Structure 1
Amino acid sequence: MMILILGNELDIHAAHLERVLTHMGISVAYWDTQCFPTQTQLTWCPNTQQGCLTLSTGQQLNLQDIRSVFWRNFSGVSVPMLADATQQHIAFRDATSTLRSIVQACPAHWVNSWQAYQFHQTKPLQLAMAQRLGVKIPATLISNSPAQIDEFVRSQHRSHTRVIFKPVCGGAHTQFVTPEHLEPERLQQALRLAPITIQAYIPGTNVRTYVVGESIYAAEIRSQAIDFRADAQAQLISIDLPEAIQQQCQAIAKAFFLEWTAIDWRVSPAGDYLFLEANPSPMFLHFEQQTGYPITQQLIELLCSTPEEKLRG
């Protein structure tokens, strides 16, 4: 059995899984996509559906011999700088097309799949899909229109609701909207660079749920910070998740093409769970250490099985 970890040993979660799998006697290697095409090689024949991957270590793997791939980090490609900008662009597109094609052609069991990764890149669609599933979401606007954003903020303030903002695709912490943010010149300048996601602030607590196959684990995250990721002192308290929310977790995972995920919720003082996002490659070690939930064990079982075996089991 060969298991690949998409990423490299510098990531503590990737390194943790590599150590556990190796200790179990399972062959495991890192596939760092950023090493392509300078240090790794990819070959694939559409006629036969056969291909191979040569890692930077020189190890050559037939795609058909890879049992599963754990999607930790996808770094794209790294093409050397060329003096000719046109040739640089062509090289980058060719390398990217090759990598994306082989990622999707590789018949291994992916945890998670390319489809899940692609869907995660469109977080506004995540919210819309969740609502179609009957899951509650905060009042939300994605826009780079100063007028639309100003009107959204005013409408929330009329109902005495504070407003937060964050990047559309992630990568920065959530902040409260202040009068300074809405200063016309500053707002216009910022929105010429990129749209933002703006939401009604939900008073209450944060809950994170992990879905690993059929298993669900949940903890309340106690923090005074608006974005708990910025709080090194945040406490994790194991909780029993309501049955209805467990069902929503499974429905979200299925609709988002996820075999494993961390789903973030905001729980209002009235006890309503509002969906924030589902991450296809979440950090989990701190959560596991604080709660004792067997996430590593569940991930190993998922990687060592095939979807068909899971169904039979």
Structure 2
Amino acid sequence: MKILILGSNEDIHAAHLKQSLTEKGITVEYLDTRLFPTQLKISWQPINHTGYLTFPDGRQWDLTDINKIFWRTFSGVNVPQLADSYQQTIAVNDATGLLRSFMRCTPEKWVNGWEAYEFHKEKPLQLSLANKIGVTIPATLVTNDAQEIINFSQSYLDVIFKPVYGGSHTQLLTKEHLEINRMNLALSISPVTIQEYIPGTNIRSYVIGEKVYSAEIRSSSLDFREDKRAKLIYLETPEDIKRQCLAITKAFGLKWTGIDWRFKPNGDFIFLEANFSPMFLHFERETGCPITEDLIELLTS
């Protein structure tokens, strides 16, 4: 059995999974796309769908011999800097075109795959799809129109804002943020996601295949990612929420995910987002949930 991990040993989750698989006698290598096309070689034939990976040390893997590929981190291609910017663009596009074709030609092998990766980047669509399948989401506005933000903020007691794409922490919207010149300047640079503030605590649910594990994240911070003292308390996942977790995972084209909820004092779960390649080691250590073993099972079944 041969398994690839998209990423490198610089990522502790990738390194942990590689070590765990290796200890079970499974052959594992990193697919570090930063080495392509300078050191990593890829060949693919569209007619018969055959292909090869040749690693920097000369070892070659046949595409048909690769059982699964685990998507941890994707760094794109790494084309040497050329003096001619036009040739640089051509080189990057050519390298990206082959790499993406190689990554997409066997979608059944990926945990998770390219289409799910692309969908993950469209967070407003993610919320919309969750709502369409019957999952409760916060009242949300995505816009670069200052007046729309003012109108929306007047409809709720408290409102939060965060980037459309992600990558930064959630903040409460204040009167200072609503100053019109400040808003117009910020919104001329990028749109923003505005949501009603949901009182309660945070819940993280992991889905691996058909298994679901949840924990309450106890933190005094608005965004628990800022709180290094946040506590994880294992939570038996209610059956209706488990069904929603599995439905979200399927609808989003995922084979595994980490789903973030807001847990209201009245017991309602409000969906926030589903993570395409979530970190899991801290959750596993704090709760004892066997995420590593379940991932191994998913990758080897």
Secondary structure of residue in 1 paired with 2:297: helix
Q: Distance in 2 between matches of 1:62 and 1:236?
A: 42
**Amino acid corresponding to residue 268 of structure 1 in structure 2:** K
| Partner of residue 195 from structure 1, selected from 171, 191, 197 | 191
1:191-270 aligned at under 5 Å gives the runs 191-270=187-266
1:142-153 aligned at under 5 Å gives the runs 142-153=142-153
Secondary structure of residue in 2 paired with 1:293: coil
Q: Distance in 1 between matches of 2:165 and 2:134?
A: 23
**Amino acid corresponding to residue 116 of structure 2 in structure 1:** A
**Amino acid corresponding to residue 236 of structure 1 in structure 2:** L
> Which segment is superposed worse, 104-113 or 229-238?
104-113
Secondary structure of residue in 2 paired with 1:206: strand
The answer to whether the 8 A contact 1:221-1:236 is kept is yes
**Amino acid corresponding to residue 298 of structure 1 in structure 2:** D
The CA deviation string for residues 230-276 of structure 1, in whole angstroms up to 9 with x for no partner, is: 10000000111211111100100000011110000001111111000
Q: Look up the match of 2:120.
A: 120
Q: Look up the match of 1:311.
A: none
Secondary structure of residue in 1 paired with 2:43: strand
Q: Look up the match of 2:90.
A: 90
> What is the CA distance between 1:107 and its match in structure 2?
6.1
**Amino acid corresponding to residue 209 of structure 1 in structure 2:** S
> What is the CA distance between 1:68 and its match in structure 2?
0.4
Q: What do you get for the CA RMSD once the two structures are aligned? A: 1.1
Gaps of 5+ in 1: 306-313
> What is the CA distance between 1:221 and its match in structure 2?
0.3
> What is the CA distance between 1:76 and its match in structure 2?
1.1
> What is the CA distance between 1:59 and its match in structure 2?
2.2
The CA deviation string for residues 156-189 of structure 1, in whole angstroms up to 9 with x for no partner, is: 2xxxx21111111111111111222222222111
The CA deviation string for residues 111-153 of structure 1, in whole angstroms up to 9 with x for no partner, is: 1111211110111111000001111000001111112112111
Q: Distance in 1 between matches of 2:294 and 2:93?
A: 37
Q: Look up the match of 1:41.
A: 41
Q: Distance in 1 between matches of 2:89 and 2:189?
A: 23
**Amino acid corresponding to residue 278 of structure 2 in structure 1:** P
Q: Distance in 2 between matches of 1:179 and 1:42?
A: 54
The CA deviation string for residues 15-60 of structure 1, in whole angstroms up to 9 with x for no partner, is: 0001111111110000011221122111111111111111233321
Q: If the length of structure 1 is used for normalisation, what is the TM-score?
A: 0.94
> Which segment is superposed worse, 209-218 or 140-149?
140-149
Q: If the length of structure 2 is used for normalisation, what is the TM-score?
A: 0.97
**Amino acid corresponding to residue 174 of structure 1 in structure 2:** T
**Amino acid corresponding to residue 246 of structure 1 in structure 2:** K
Report % sequence identity: 58
Secondary structure of residue in 2 paired with 1:155: coil
Dislocated runs of 4+, deviation >4 Å: none
Q: Distance in 1 between matches of 2:255 and 2:75?
A: 21
Secondary structure of residue in 2 paired with 1:281: coil
Q: Distance in 2 between matches of 1:64 and 1:266?
A: 43
Q: Distance in 2 between matches of 1:177 and 1:210?
A: 30
Q: Distance in 2 between matches of 1:176 and 1:101?
A: 42
Q: Distance in 2 between matches of 1:81 and 1:164?
A: 41
1:4-43 aligned at under 5 Å gives the runs 4-43=4-43
Q: Distance in 1 between matches of 2:130 and 2:193?
A: 16
